[in-house]
Amino acid sequence: MTAAEAQTALQPSQEKSWHEMALQALKRNDIRLVPYVPDRILTTLIRNIHADPFFTTFPTAREEEAVGIVAGAWMAGMRGAVLMQTSGFATLANVLASLAVPYQIPLIMFVTERGTLGEFNYGQALVCSTMRPVLDSLAMEHHTCTRLDEFEFILDRSIKQAITTQAPVALILSPLLTGGKVFDK
Amino acid sequence: MNTATNSPARNTKVMNRFDITSRLVAKLKHGEAVIGGIGNTNFDLWAAGHRPQNFYMLGSMGLGFPIALGVALAQPQRRVFGLEGDGSLLMQMGCLATIATLKPKNLTMIVMDNGVYQITGAQPTPAAAVADIVAIAAASGLSNSVWAADEEDFERLVDQSLSATGPTLIGVRIDDKPGVGATRRDPVQIRERFMLGLGVREAL
């Protein structure tokens, strides 16, 4: 074991980054298919998922396209999750209400949250304000993840609940968890 | 509807959705999955004879091919057919490039093109008079995209797609007739039957 490996091995779990936790939770729960529309915040997670042959991962042109893909894959026996940002979620009301919810498909969504805690684009803030009302109007499970020490618990429990109850879940990744995106000009 | 006045010159026959769908279904002997897009496309799939490997969309217009892609990725040994209308595909054309990138060789896409939103009153689509969906598919990277000249040609193209080394898209010019059946609007049953049909679930 090299010194670097020893150091990694000795790191307590709470020192893992959020994106390492997310990747490992996907693997633990056998979620192999990960289509996404990217966000700056998701860069490292997306890169690491691409680098891991466990996953089938690729970009889609729209978020609802990715939702259709994971819905089809789940019905055919392969678990998936979709990665997107807030403004992508805002395009999904139709597919959630007409596919994921009524067909009882355990759609797992990771949504990086723009529009709050330091947003610099008013439009993003307004888009963000539509997200939770849409989720609530469909009685969809959703959690806003803000703390590293809670993150693994929320991930594992939410993924298991989605699959066993055949109901979608949105995991909203707050800037409190990820650092968010800030205007640095 | 396709007429000489509102669409470019074509040498393809104007066919009928139910007839084409019936011809496809008659060929299915190996548990092939079929995803029927919203509206008339899945109504005619239903009317052609229900099979447990059929999935009927009751909403989410445009997601027929993405759903079919998901099935094709999850079960690479099973042939998957996606049936879509031209109006639906116009809503989600980006999926053609996604599919071209992933190259699932077990996916055959069939586009029923009548140039109208038949189910809402047969209003022409924005593309009807100007765009060529098969050319769009080819330009999206789906090099194996072709118009069916007539019913016999359609059947030949379907057979050919079974041994293709990549995904196939078949354009079928159809008339403006409505679907001949009506899918039972029971999404949970549709999904559960489909999963049984794909061998993912045991019956309760």
**CATH code assigned at A65:** 3.40.50.970
Q: How confident is the model at residue B134 (pLDDT cuts 50, 70, 90)?
A: very high
Residue B88 CB partners (closer than 8 Å, separation 6+): B37, B38, B39, B41, B61, B62, B64
Instruction: State how far residue A118 is from chain B, nearest Cα, in angstroms.
Output: 32
Domain-embedded: residue A42? yes
Residue A21: inside a domain: no
Residue of A nearest to B190 (CA): A103
Answer whether residue A56 is part of any domain: yes
Percent of chain A with pLDDT over 70: 91
> Strands (DSSP E) along chain A, which ranges?
31-36, 56-59, 79-80, 82-85, 108-112, 141-145, 169-173
Give how many domains chain A has, as a whole number. 1
pLDDT digits (tens, 9 = 90+) for B73-113: 999 999 999 999 999 999 999 999 999 999 999 999 999 99
User: Which of A64, A101, A103 has the highest number of chain B CBs within 10 A, making it the mutation to test binding with B?
Assistant: A103
pLDDT at B5: 47
Provide the residue range defining the domain that includes A55: 26-120+130-175
| A19 inside domain | no
Could you report the per-residue pLDDT of B175-204, keeping only the tens digit for each?
999 999 999 999 999 999 999 999 999 998
> Is the pTM higher than 0.90?
yes
Best interface-test mutation with A: which of B71, B183, B200, B204 has the largest number of A CBs within 10 A?
B71
pLDDT of residue B10: 75
Report chain A residues whose CB lies below 8 A from the CB of B59: 94-95, 97-99, 102
Could you tell me if B90 lies within 8 Å of chain A, comparing CB atoms? no
Give me the phi and psi of B145, to 5 degrees please: -125, 130
pLDDT band at B149 (very low <50, low <70, confident <90, very high): very high
Using the Cβ of B66 and the Cβ atoms of chain A, whether some distance falls under 8 Å is answered with yes
* CATH number belonging to domain B8-197: 3.40.50.970
Smallest Cα distance from A65 to chain B, Å = 6
Question: ipTM score of the complex?
Answer: 0.96
Task: Give domain status of residue A169, yes or no.
Answer: yes
A76 belongs to a structural domain = yes
The structural domains of chain B, with segments of one domain joined by +, span 8-197
Q: What is the mean pLDDT of residues A130-153?
A: 98
With an 8 Å Cβ cutoff, are A64 and B57 in contact? no
Rounded distance, CA A16 to CA A10, Å? Answer: 11
Residue A1 included in any domain: no
Cross-chain Cβ contact B191/A68 below 8 Å: no
Residue A184 falls inside a structural domain? no
